[in-house]
């Protein structure tokens, strides 16, 4: 029943667009970098969590297709950010909404209503839009009637995916009464599920995988609903191409460094104590007795010599 209702509403929406002005769009090619560290899903861009992520800004007039009610201020300044890893496709979407809706959409009943964002996904080979075998369409609301955010897939799974069954995650914050941010991820296992429901393209979380993604902002101003999409509406050939790459993004931890090993100080050679100066050779002191004997001897010798000289003169 949900699938039938979803397709019926989509068909009515498509019919309502037949009167819209023709929109020619040249698709842009984007690269989605790989998250080094998975972001914490809390509805806010934490410090460094989304550094170097792909950022796609909804630029007014240049490449936007105003779909329902053509509110010319819709989407201006809104930014879609993407990263990926082997487990999930991550998104952080900031919407510079300037109006307040009369009511929040009912939980589990997305169907292009209320304030929120959408992204449609084609596989690389394309196919018919709005058909679950070739086109996925995710709606994200920052707040539903039960106060919680939600993620809904329209055409293939046709159900809420932020639950234990499908494992997606979503969180939101509001900057004021209207502007908001939604953050979350869709596991690649969700894309594996779609093959059971007949999806024909292969979509995996591997480097080089290509997707065609259309970014959409939904705005309810009071009771008036508007939609805007970057690129063509439900047109594979006018949908931007996104390629998963290995370029790093997100919070990159500082490399761990080993604590420097403190080297033991080299032993300091002990200086040999200075050799004591050799004592000067001592001159033996003359003994008192020896000196006296020498004097007596010299005196005797002098006396003898003197006596001999006198004798000779006589």
- pLDDT of the residue at 274: 54
Q: Is 217 exposed, middle or buried (0-12, 13-18, 19+ CB in 10 A)?
A: buried
- pLDDT of the residue at 295: 47
The residue among 156, 154, 193, 187 whose CA lies nearest residue 170 is 187
Q: For Cα atoms 245, 56, 203, give the angle at the middle one, nearest 5 degrees.
A: 40
- pLDDT of the residue at 59: 74
- pLDDT of the residue at 128: 92
- pLDDT of the residue at 311: 46
- pLDDT of the residue at 285: 44
- pLDDT of the residue at 264: 63
What are the backbone angles phi and psi of residue 14, rounded to the nearest 5°? -65, -40
174 within 8 A of 180, measured Cβ to Cβ: yes
Q: Which residues contact 161 (CB under 8 A, 6 or more apart)?
A: 138, 151, 152, 153, 167, 168, 186, 190
Relative to beta strand 169-174, strand 88-95 is: unpaired
10-residue block means of pLDDT along the chain (314 residues)?
48 42 79 97 93 89 70 75 97 91 83 89 92 94 93 93 94 92 95 87 94 92 86 92 97 75 64 53 46 48 47 42
- Extract the tokens encoding 191: 């894309």
Relative to beta strand 79-84, strand 54-57 is: antiparallel
- pLDDT of the residue at 61: 56
169 within 8 A of 161, measured Cβ to Cβ: no
- pLDDT of the residue at 37: 95
How far, in Å, CA of 170 to CA of 184, rounded?
Answer: 4
- pLDDT of the residue at 288: 45
């Amino acid at each position: 029943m949900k699938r039938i209702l979803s397709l019926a509403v989509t068909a009515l929406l498509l019919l309502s667009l037949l009167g819209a002005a023709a929109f020619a769009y040249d698709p842009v090619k984007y690269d989605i970098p790989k998250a080094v560290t998975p972001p914490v899903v809390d509805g806010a861009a934490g410090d460094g969590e989304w550094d170097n992520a792909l950022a796609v800004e909804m630029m007014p007039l240049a490449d936007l297709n105003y779909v329902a009610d053509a509110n010319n201020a819709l989407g201006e300044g809104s930014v879609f950010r993407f990263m990926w890893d082997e487990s999930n496709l991550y998104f952080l979407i900031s919407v510079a909404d300037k109006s307040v809706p009369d009511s929040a959409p009912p939980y589990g009943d997305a169907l292009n209503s209320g304030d929120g964002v959408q992204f449609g996904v084609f596989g690389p080979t394309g196919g018919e839009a709005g058909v679950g075998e070739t086109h996925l369409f995710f709606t994200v609301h920052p707040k539903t009637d039960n106060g919680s955010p939600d993620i809904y897939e329209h055409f293939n799974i046709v159900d809420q995916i932020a639950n234990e069954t499908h494992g997606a995650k979503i969180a939101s914050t509001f900057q004021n009464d209207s502007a908001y941010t939604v953050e979350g991820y869709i596991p690649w296992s969700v894309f594996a599920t779609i093959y059971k429901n007949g999806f024909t393209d292969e979509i995996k979380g591997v480097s080089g995988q290509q997707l065609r993604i259309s970014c959409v902002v939904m705005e309810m101003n009071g009771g008036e609903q508007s939609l805007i999409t970057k690129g063509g509406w439900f047109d594979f050939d006018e949908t931007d191409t996104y390629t998963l790459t290995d370029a790093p993004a997100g919070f990159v931890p500082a490399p761990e460094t080993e604590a420097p090993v403190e080297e033991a100080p080299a032993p300091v050679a002990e200086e040999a104590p200075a050799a004591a100066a050799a004592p000067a050779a001592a001159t033996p002191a003359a003994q008192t007795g020896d000196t006296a004997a020498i004097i007596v001897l010299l005196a005797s010798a002098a006396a003898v010599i003197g006596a001999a000289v006198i004798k000779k003169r006589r």
